[in-house]
Structure 1
Amino acid sequence: MDRIDGSLIALRRIIRATELFGRKLAQAAGLTAVQFRVLQVVAESGHCTSTAISQRMRVSQATVTSLVDKLVKSGMVVREKSEADRRQTNIVITDQGRKTIEDAPDPLQQRYVRKFAALEDWEQAMILASLERVATMMDAEDIDASPVLDAGDIRKST
């Protein structure tokens, strides 16, 4: 096997791992990876605004609104007017949302983060540079992407 085939196989394995985790999460929690990540962001403090989610996930307000709508519909979060500022609406996690997080499989993204963080600084820099180069080689450097491991389009995860 030459290096070209080896690199394509490695890319395909990454894509497949993401797809398989997405299916596993959908079966276990009934959510996409992106919806689950929004739920995790809300769970970190118990509540937050759509703006905070948007900034944290680096996606548009419209995308967050659609994702939160789905989570509200499934009973994972509720929208409540802020007591501090009545113009602001908080997204608040429900008991069902907390249980979903507890019962969900270990997120692929969190496994990656743990293992990446354990690497030496030079190795992290090398991997980042290599991944950025691969994105450029695939003419993907200008594609809008949030730091969420999901094989699908984030806008279609709503």
Structure 2
Amino acid sequence: MNEETREIYDSRVLRSLRRVIRAVDKYSHKLNTELGLTTPQLLCLDTLARAGAPLTQKALGETVSLGASTVNGIVDRLEAKQYLLRRRSGRDRRQVFLELTPAGRGVLETAPSLLQDRFSTSFAALPGERQKTITEALELVVRLMEADTIDASPNLFAHDKVEPE
């Protein structure tokens, strides 16, 4: 491959990454403006709603792939907005469960569709081999950017984990 072709590919990759970043930023801004929530906050509320039962903070963090301190801050803010409650277990007082309040359920009903859900639906419609190719290419981009040690929620897949084939 000659230098000119390589520069064209570099430019296309960077433009594509920038568009993805902008789409996520625009969605986050819209969400914050309309609901006063961040994307991780909405993701946590949505995860609690879909769980069907109260979750511990640790379980919530594992489900959304966020660290304990990050989830703690999110839960503090959601509790202050009265979107969730912390309830101690009757059996083991050390365990604290998170429950959505009616206000939390209400905000989820008015929330726009998760950007992640739109992507997930479109991605799922692709043939399996195409999904695998895209997944592997993006994972390679992450490694090439030396970003594979950055902790990140798989929030483009809000409800399902991507399992390798």
Normalised to the residue count of structure 1, the TM-score between the two structures is 0.87
Structure of greater relative contact order (alpha carbons < 8 Å, 6+ residues apart): 1
- Residues 54 and 64, structure 1, Cα contact 8 Å, conserved in 2: yes
Considering only CA atoms, is the larger Rg found in Structure 1 or Structure 2? 2
Aligned with residue 133 of structure 1, among 134, 140, 160: 140
The answer as to 2:22 corresponding to 1:16 is: yes
Which residue number in structure 1 is paired with residue 81 of structure 2? 74
Structure 2 residues without counterparts, runs of 5 or longer: 1-6, 157-165
> Partners of 2:67 and 2:152 in 1: how far apart?
11
> Partners of 2:91 and 2:116 in 1: how far apart?
34
Aligned with residue 102 of structure 1, among 101, 104, 109: 109
Normalised to the residue count of structure 2, the TM-score between the two structures is 0.84
Structure 1 residue 84: deviation in Å? 4.4
Residues 46 and 74 of structure 1, relative CA distance in 2, 3 Å threshold = farther
> Partners of 1:19 and 1:25 in 2: how far apart?
10
Cα RMSD, aligned residues only: 1.6
Tell me which stretches of 4 or more aligned residues in structure 1 moved more than 4 Å: none
Structure 1 residue 85: deviation in Å? 3.4
Q: Deviations over 1:79-124 (max 9, x none)?
A: 1122343331111101111111111111111111111122211011
Question: Identity rate of aligned residues, in percent?
Answer: 36
Which residue number in structure 2 is paired with residue 156 of structure 1? none
Matched ranges for 1:35-50 at <5 A: 35-44=41-50, 45-50=52-57
- Residues 46 and 93, structure 1, Cα contact 8 Å, conserved in 2: no
Aligned with residue 67 of structure 2, among 60, 84, 87: 60
Aligned with residue 29 of structure 1, among 23, 26, 35: 35
Structure 1 residues without counterparts, runs of 5 or longer: 150-158
> Partners of 2:148 and 2:69 in 1: how far apart?
23
Q: What letter matches 2:145 in structure 1?
A: M
Which residue number in structure 2 is paired with residue 154 of structure 1? none
- Residues 28 and 105, structure 1, Cα contact 8 Å, conserved in 2: no
1:2 alignment partner, SS class: helix
> Partners of 2:13 and 2:67 in 1: how far apart?
33
Aligned length: 149
